[in-house]
């Protein structure tokens, strides 16, 4: 069905003018346009409400919006009643009857008289009752008990029977009564319907395919949600909360494409109407929940315990790991489009692989029990079994059938002999026994059994995983949205690569490197450009970044120098922790938050920036994206170099494997030597302790590929 742009919910009232002060028992309206919720409005009487609604409908139509309007009174009476009153089966004729007959005003109306008149059409006394005035209306009993016995049976609409707590419309006044609301409501809607004729439909009497759709609603379907909301603060008016939550719930059902189910839940006699939401109560209640989420990061999540000064790399990683959790939403997408995405839940095999026992080869199938040692000669049955063409009959014991790879084993077949091992003649197959029972067959579920976890939550999907999910009957995958990672360079000295050479400036080398790293890790990268070294530009850049990214990588300006604006502004206006990590290369790593979005402040030096990004940002971003804490696969190889290493810090050397598979390292460890990054195919990782390395000693080599460098 065409979605609605706007949802209006009206809490109607059959009572008289309630004055200008906002109260319950008046008319309340709530509007949700798209995902935008407007504050509920108070209308002190029906006249004012009707003209407000008419204007609202007109302005929504002028905007080209499609609108769903819900009203909390019965759109009809139990089946047959409308016909009794108007002579017509069409309940909308009854609406027009009320519009004609009801004399309504802010201070009162003739509803008791009308109820008495309708009662006159029915035998005995009833069905309407209650009289709040001094005047007697012949035929309208004051008390329920005064009705004729035939009206004691619960005469209600099917939808009222299904929605718990509904009042019937027979009671014309008093606590909880809805009779007066229905009379005045139907009269009002009849006028609105006439005013928007051709562009408005009344569901379920008419198909809900016009620009404006009226539907009956019942806010008490959300009574638990309303109660919970009222419990959060004293100054809330129940009616206002009801319309607000119901409008939200209906708008959200629409956005989720579930309103169709709510509309098709209508049942029962076609002249009674139906409460929109009855039949899908649970969905409606879920959709009424507030759209809030926990804060992404704890305020102090990056704080180190007091007294910690230089942090060993492993401790730093452990702390980072503990501080972070996913910040992305989930979505369900076709498996074929899920490459690189991270599974947001365990994915369960929908069928076994293989689903049925089948043949692993092209050959001849038979029952093993009828064969033995020595030459075997079996007559063939006509036909064959092929993949996708199941052999329907049974193969009798002592006979064989032609079978192809992947074909399900026909009844009577448990063993297959390879076609290369047989001789065929005159409808017989001959081969040498004994053949092992079950030879050349695959058991059902021998690979994966239906119901097993095929791939667990947090797994990043690679091409082989797409084969597995597809084979197990999973066409859709529930995955995390792509983490949006922004990359910002900072520094007055930086020039855009490709611009004319000015030897006093430094080309921005980090941004293309980091952007490409982010892309290779499967995230959505955002180029945030270069921020010059002023507080204002840095602030603007961070504001912009935080509004459209889930995480921010910066480089440069991360120390405590005069021009280190990133750390200064984060310290003064955001949140920042500077971690001095016992690591070479790498100056302090800055971890902060700007408007709740994590900021990873990388050193400016490209060599240090790369190492910090690979060692710290990579696993951290993976967790933010819903994935696992990534630990690179490393290999131990003989060193092809000599080195004396001091104790007290972790070192990463730019390295590659020589033709013997030994790790050689770049000639200079200088952190300005960008060429070494390109020369290398990975990093040699040296532990925190002191070490004298001689050629041939084992060292740990982490290939770039294992760090997701592509």
Which residue ranges make up the site for ligand AMP (CB under 6 A)?
Answer: 489, 491, 493-494, 506, 508-511, 555-559, 603-606
Partner that binds at residue 248, options Mg ion, ligand AMP, none, CB closer than 5 to 8 Å by kind: none
If the CB atoms of residues 341 and 565 are measured against ligand AMP, the closer one turns out to be 565
Partner that binds at residue 506, options Mg ion, ligand AMP, none, CB closer than 5 to 8 Å by kind: ligand AMP
**Burial state string for 176-194 with b = 16 or more CB within 10 A and e = fewer than 16:** ebbbbbbbbbbbbbbebbe
Number of residues that bind Mg ion (CB under 5 A): 3
If the CB atoms of residues 522 and 556 are measured against ligand AMP, the closer one turns out to be 556
Partner that binds at residue 508, options ligand AMP, Mg ion, none, CB closer than 5 to 8 Å by kind: ligand AMP
Residue 665 bridge partners (DSSP): 655
Sequence-separated (6 or more) residues with CB below 8 Å from residue 52: 29, 41, 43
Sequence-separated (6 or more) residues with CB below 8 Å from residue 585: 603, 605, 607, 608, 611, 652, 669, 671
Q: Which residues, 472 to 491, sit near Mg ion by CB under 5 A?
A: 491
Shortest distance in whole angstroms from residue 308 CB to ligand AMP:
23
If the CB atoms of residues 444 and 506 are measured against Mg ion, the closer one turns out to be 506
Cβ(695)–Cβ(642) below 8 Å: yes
Partner that binds at residue 489, options Mg ion, ligand AMP, none, CB closer than 5 to 8 Å by kind: ligand AMP
Q: Which residues, 222 to 251, sit near Mg ion by CB under 5 A?
A: none
Shortest distance in whole angstroms from residue 228 CB to ligand AMP:
50
| Element (DSSP H or E) covering residue 441 | strand 441-442
Report the residue count for the chain.
710
| Position closest to ligand AMP via CB | 604
If the CB atoms of residues 380 and 528 are measured against ligand AMP, the closer one turns out to be 528
Shortest distance in whole angstroms from residue 630 CB to ligand AMP:
24
Phi and psi angles of residue 425, each rounded to the nearest 5 degrees, phi first? -165, 140
Shortest distance in whole angstroms from residue 617 CB to ligand AMP:
15
Is the peptide bond between 192 and the residue preceding it cis, with omega within 30 degrees of 0? no
Is 556 an interacting residue with respect to Mg ion (CB under 5 A)? Answer: yes
Burial of 232 (0-12, 13-18, 19+ CB in 10 A): exposed
Partner that binds at residue 516, options Mg ion, ligand AMP, none, CB closer than 5 to 8 Å by kind: none
Give the count of beta carbons closer than 10 Å to the beta carbon of residue 167.
15
Distances, alpha carbon 582 to alpha carbons 244, 550, 618, 643, in Å:
55, 28, 18, 18
Is 326 an interacting residue with respect to Mg ion (CB under 5 A)? Answer: no
Shortest distance in whole angstroms from residue 492 CB to Mg ion:
7
If the CB atoms of residues 451 and 497 are measured against ligand AMP, the closer one turns out to be 497
- Which residue stretches of 167-266 are H helix? 179-195, 223-230, 238-255, 259-264
Shortest distance in whole angstroms from residue 556 CB to ligand AMP:
3
Residue 526 bridge partners (DSSP): 486
Shortest distance in whole angstroms from residue 506 CB to ligand AMP:
4
Shortest distance in whole angstroms from residue 657 CB to ligand AMP:
28
Shortest distance in whole angstroms from residue 510 CB to ligand AMP:
3
If the CB atoms of residues 342 and 607 are measured against ligand AMP, the closer one turns out to be 607
**DSSP assignment letter at 411:** B
If the CB atoms of residues 91 and 556 are measured against ligand AMP, the closer one turns out to be 556
Contacts with Mg ion, 383-422, as mask; x by CB under 5 A: ----------------------------------------
If the CB atoms of residues 481 and 557 are measured against Mg ion, the closer one turns out to be 557
If the CB atoms of residues 416 and 609 are measured against ligand AMP, the closer one turns out to be 609
Shortest distance in whole angstroms from residue 493 CB to ligand AMP:
5
Partner that binds at residue 208, options Mg ion, ligand AMP, none, CB closer than 5 to 8 Å by kind: none
Shortest distance in whole angstroms from residue 596 CB to ligand AMP:
25
If the CB atoms of residues 558 and 680 are measured against ligand AMP, the closer one turns out to be 558
If the CB atoms of residues 18 and 490 are measured against Mg ion, the closer one turns out to be 490
Token pair 């079996």 in the structure block, residue: 378
If the CB atoms of residues 420 and 562 are measured against ligand AMP, the closer one turns out to be 562
Shortest distance in whole angstroms from residue 581 CB to ligand AMP:
15
Partner that binds at residue 204, options Mg ion, ligand AMP, none, CB closer than 5 to 8 Å by kind: none
Sequence-separated (6 or more) residues with CB below 8 Å from residue 301: 323, 324
Shortest distance in whole angstroms from residue 508 CB to ligand AMP:
4
Structure tokens at 595: 């408007």
Phi and psi angles of residue 165, each rounded to the nearest 5 degrees, phi first? 90, 0
Tell me if residue 460 falls in helix, strand or coil: strand
Spatial CA neighbour of 242 closest among 12, 5, 4: 12
If the CB atoms of residues 254 and 557 are measured against Mg ion, the closer one turns out to be 557
Phi and psi angles of residue 511, each rounded to the nearest 5 degrees, phi first? -65, -50
Tell me if residue 378 falls in helix, strand or coil: strand
Positive or negative, the Cα torsion across 439, 441, 444, 446?
positive
d(CA 259, CA 276): 9
| Position closest to Mg ion via CB | 491
Partner that binds at residue 45, options Mg ion, ligand AMP, none, CB closer than 5 to 8 Å by kind: none
If the CB atoms of residues 273 and 603 are measured against ligand AMP, the closer one turns out to be 603
Is 458 an interacting residue with respect to Mg ion (CB under 5 A)? Answer: no
Partner that binds at residue 603, options Mg ion, ligand AMP, none, CB closer than 5 to 8 Å by kind: ligand AMP
**Alpha-carbon dihedral angle through residues 635, 641, 642, 646, given to the nearest 10 degrees:** -40
Is 557 an interacting residue with respect to Mg ion (CB under 5 A)? Answer: yes
E strands along 560-634, which residues? 575-584, 589-594, 597-602
- HSE (side-chain half, CA atoms, 13 Å) at 482: 18
Shortest distance in whole angstroms from residue 707 CB to ligand AMP:
20
Shortest distance in whole angstroms from residue 684 CB to Mg ion:
29
Cβ(518)–Cβ(525) below 8 Å: yes
Phi and psi angles of residue 186, each rounded to the nearest 5 degrees, phi first? -65, -40
If the CB atoms of residues 160 and 508 are measured against ligand AMP, the closer one turns out to be 508
Partner that binds at residue 510, options ligand AMP, Mg ion, none, CB closer than 5 to 8 Å by kind: ligand AMP
Phi and psi angles of residue 106, each rounded to the nearest 5 degrees, phi first? -60, -30
Kind of pairing, strands 635-638 and 698-703? Answer: antiparallel
Partner that binds at residue 376, options Mg ion, ligand AMP, none, CB closer than 5 to 8 Å by kind: none
Partner that binds at residue 551, options ligand AMP, Mg ion, none, CB closer than 5 to 8 Å by kind: none
Shortest distance in whole angstroms from residue 323 CB to ligand AMP:
23
Burial of 172 (0-12, 13-18, 19+ CB in 10 A): buried
Partner that binds at residue 494, options Mg ion, ligand AMP, none, CB closer than 5 to 8 Å by kind: ligand AMP
d(CA 244, CA 28): 9
Spatial CA neighbour of 708 closest among 627, 608, 639: 627
If the CB atoms of residues 493 and 527 are measured against ligand AMP, the closer one turns out to be 493
Spatial CA neighbour of 399 closest among 383, 421, 419: 383
Contacts with Mg ion, 491-530, as mask; x by CB under 5 A: x---------------------------------------
CA end-to-end distance (rounded Å), the chain: 45
Partner that binds at residue 559, options Mg ion, ligand AMP, none, CB closer than 5 to 8 Å by kind: ligand AMP
Contact residues for Mg ion, defined by CB under 5 A: 491, 556-557
């Amino acid at each position: 069905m065409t979605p609605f742009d706007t949802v209006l919910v009206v809490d109607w009232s059959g009572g008289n003018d309630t004055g200008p002060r906002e109260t319950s028992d008046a008319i309340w309206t709530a509007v949700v346009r798209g995902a935008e919720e407007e504050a509920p409005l108070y209308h002190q009487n029906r006249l004012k409400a009707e003209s407000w609604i008419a204007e609202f409908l007109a302005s929504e139509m002028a905007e080209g919006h499609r609108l769903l309007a819900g009203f909390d009174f019965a759109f009809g009476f139990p089946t047959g009643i409308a016909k009794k009153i108007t002579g017509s089966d069409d309940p909308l004729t009854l609406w027009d009857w009320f519009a004609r007959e009801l004399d309504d005003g802010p201070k009162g109306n003739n509803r008791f008289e009308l109820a008495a008149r309708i009662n006159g059409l029915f035998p005995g006394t009833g069905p309407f009752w209650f009289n709040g005035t001094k005047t007697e209306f012949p035929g309208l009993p004051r008390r329920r008990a005064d009705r004729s016995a035939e009206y004691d049976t619960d005469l209600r609409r099917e939808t009222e029977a299904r929605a718990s707590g509904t009042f019937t419309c027979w009671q014309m006044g008093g606590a909880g009564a809805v009779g007066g609301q229905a009379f005045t409501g139907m009269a009002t809607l009849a006028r609105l319907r006439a005013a928007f004729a051709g562009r408005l439909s009344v569901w379920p009497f008419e198909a809900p395919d016009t620009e404006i759709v009226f539907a009956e609603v019942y806010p008490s379907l959300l009574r638990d949600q309303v109660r919970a909301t009222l419990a959060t603060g004293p100054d809330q008016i129940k009616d206002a909360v009801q319309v607000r939550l119901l409008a939200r719930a209906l708008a959200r059902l629409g956005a989720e494409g579930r309103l169709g189910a709510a509309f098709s839940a209508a049942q029962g006699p076609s002249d009674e109407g139906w409460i929109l939401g009855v039949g899908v109560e649970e969905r409606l209640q879920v959709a009424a929940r507030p759209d809030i989420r926990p804060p992404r990061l704890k305020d102090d999540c990056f704080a180190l315990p007091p007294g910690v000064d230089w942090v060993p790399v492993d401790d730093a990683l452990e702390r980072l790991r503990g501080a972070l959790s996913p910040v992305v939403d989930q979505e369900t997408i076709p498996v074929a489009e899920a490459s690189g995405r991270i599974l947001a839940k365990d994915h369960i095999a929908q069928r076994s692989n293989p689903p049925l026992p089948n043949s692993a080869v092209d050959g001849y199938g038979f029952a093993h029990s009828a064969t033995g040692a020595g030459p075997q000669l079996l007559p063939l049955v006509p036909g064959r079994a092929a993949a996708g063409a199941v052999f329907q009959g049974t193969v009798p014991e002592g006979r064989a059938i032609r079978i192809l790879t992947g074909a399900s084993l026909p009844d009577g077949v448990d063993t297959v002999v390879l076609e290369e091992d047989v001789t065929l003649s005159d409808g017989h197959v001959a081969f040498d026994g004994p053949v092992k029972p079950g030879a050349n067959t695959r058991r059902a579920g021998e690979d994966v059994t239906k119901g097993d976890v095929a791939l667990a939550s947090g797994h990043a999907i690679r091409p082989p995983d797409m084969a597995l999910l597809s084979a197990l009957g999973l066409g859709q995958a529930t995955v995390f949205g792509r983490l949006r990672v922004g990359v910002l360079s900072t520094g007055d000295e930086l020039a855009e690569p490709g611009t004319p050479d000015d030897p006093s400036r430094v080309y921005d080398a980090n941004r293309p490197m980091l952007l490409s790293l982010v892309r290779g890790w499967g995230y959505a990268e955002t180029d945030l450009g270069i921020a010059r070294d002023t507080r204002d530009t840095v602030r603007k850049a961070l504001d912009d970044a935080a509004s459209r990214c889930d995480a921010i990588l910066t480089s440069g300006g991360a120390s405590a120098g005069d021009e280190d604006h990133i750390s200064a502004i984060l310290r003064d206006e955001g949140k920042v922790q500077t971690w001095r990590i016992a690591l070479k290369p790498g100056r302090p790593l800055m971890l902060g938050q700007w408007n709740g979005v994590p900021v990873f402040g990388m050193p400016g030096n490209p060599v240090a920036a790369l190492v910090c990004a690979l060692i710290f940002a990579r696993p951290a971003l993976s967790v933010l994206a819903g994935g696992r804490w990534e630990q690179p696969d490393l290999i131990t190889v003989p060193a092809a170099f000599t080195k004396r290493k001091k104790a007290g810090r972790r070192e990463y050397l730019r390295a590659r494997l020589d033709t013997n598979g030994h790790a050689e390292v770049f000639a200079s460890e200088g952190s300005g030597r960008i060429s070494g990054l390109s020369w290398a195919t990975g990093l040699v990782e040296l532990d925190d302790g002191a070490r004298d390395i001689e050629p041939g000693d084992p060292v740990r080599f982490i290939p770039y590929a294992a760090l997701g460098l592509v």
